[in-house]
Amino acid sequence: MSTVDQNLDAGERYFQKNGLELTQARIATVGDITVRRLLPLRLRRSVGAWCFVDHYGPMSVDGITGMMVPAHPHIGLQTVTWLLAGNVLHRDSLGSEQMIRPGQLNLMTAGRGIAHAEESPVEHDPRLHGVQLWVALPQESRFTQPAFEHHAELPFMGSDGFTITVFLGCLTGTCSPATTFSHLVGAQFVASRDVKTQVAVNPDFEHVVFVLDGTARVAGTDLAPGALLYLPTGHFEIPMAAPAETILLLLGGVPLGEPLLMWWNFVARTPQEIATAVADWRDGRFGEVGGYVGEPLKAPLLRSSMRMSFALRFWSARRARRYMSNEVSVPSRAWQSRALASSLAIRS
């Protein structure tokens, strides 16, 4: 999935309670599909290495084309595809072609560069529900070889009424076989009955919890689809209560500690890297995605006036936060230049 975002100006509703943060998704469109964009946030670019969360559906794709995301490039990240309903066909510039269904994991490591397309196959299930997640690659792994993995079997465990599937990283010693480049967790919780429990988590991780289906009360906060609850490091367990059949996602990891520059489908560190990736895509250096009928996506224009307006908006939000935390009084020239660079990330 790509991040062509039609809705840059929607504000994030946000509040803090007991050190936790609750935000509401922005509504964005990817192709013809409306998604709840839960990450990145203007004030929080990543949670562990997780840097992008789109939740779509449940929706009917009966008798329509469904998901059609033409070929597009990625650098510096892993894409994680996780479905609750439906089926999606993945193709990439390595020649991979893989159908994914609920309970399975598609993990694409972009590393220094890959292109892919995702679509509902011609004969597809009538419903579609899932998430598209990105994991930022840490500095030492950013330029790794591109790769694609499909995992049909993932470890799961029962715990106090939850069936927990660990699709990436580790949760209390249960680890997904999928390749990771930082310490993190991605796990799905399905309530097999009415549940009220404490979920043990790694206190070195920061986490987000969100509902994919149903409602839940997590760490004293009511959650419904579209809400994202952030918990900083230092939590040994997370109180969760949910009626039967609720489905939750838990994502977490050791704080990345690296500023991410996200623009379109690229996760980088400098504007120059973004500009290079745009040129590489334009000139066909990411390779071809065979089999997808339709034109590849074009990168949006990097117009300087647009960049500046994003810079100012982003700058004031960041500056407000830094004022509040007494980090700075007057923005330095270096800070202004970083703000301009970060402004690119607003489009992500």
Alpha helices in the chain (DSSP H): 271-282, 304-324, 333-343
Nearest approach in angstroms of CB 276 to Mn ion is 19
Output the smallest distance, CB 292 to Mn ion, in A: 12
The DSSP code sequence of 307-324 is: HHHHHHHHHHHHHHHHHH
**Closest distance to Mn ion from the beta carbon of 79 (Å):** 5
Two structure tokens written together for 260: 């991410």
Of 73 and 271, CB closest to Mn ion: 73
Closer to Mn ion by Cβ: residue 30 or 346: 30
Closer by beta carbon to Mn ion, 48 or else 70: 70
Binding site for Mn ion (CB under 5 A): 1-2
Contact assessment for residue 61 and residue 103, using Cβ atoms and an 8 Å cutoff: no
The least distance separating Mn ion from the CB of residue 28, rounded to whole angstroms, comes to 14
Closest approach of Mn ion to the CB of residue 34, in Å = 17
Q: Which residue has the tokens 């999935």?
A: 1
Residue 304: HSE in the Cβ half-sphere, 13 Å Cα cutoff:
0
Smaller CB distance to Mn ion: residue 4 or 311?
4
Q: Are 226 and 25 in contact (CB under 8 A)?
A: yes
Nearer to Mn ion, 53 or 229 (CB): 53
d(CA 106, CA 129): 15
Closest contact distance (angstroms) between CB of 93 and Mn ion is 12
Nearer to Mn ion, 1 or 212 (CB): 1
From residue 95, give the alpha-carbon distance in Å to each of 25, 114, 292, 293, 341: 34, 11, 12, 15, 34
Nearest distance in Å: CB 237, Mn ion: 34
String of DSSP letters for 5-48: -S-S-PPPPEEEETTEEEEEPEEEEETTEEEEEEE--SS---BT
Measured in whole angstroms, the distance separating CA 314 from the mean position of its chain's CA atoms is 20
Which lies closer to Mn ion via its Cβ, residue 148 or residue 189? 148
d(C-alpha 192, C-alpha 246), whole Å = 8
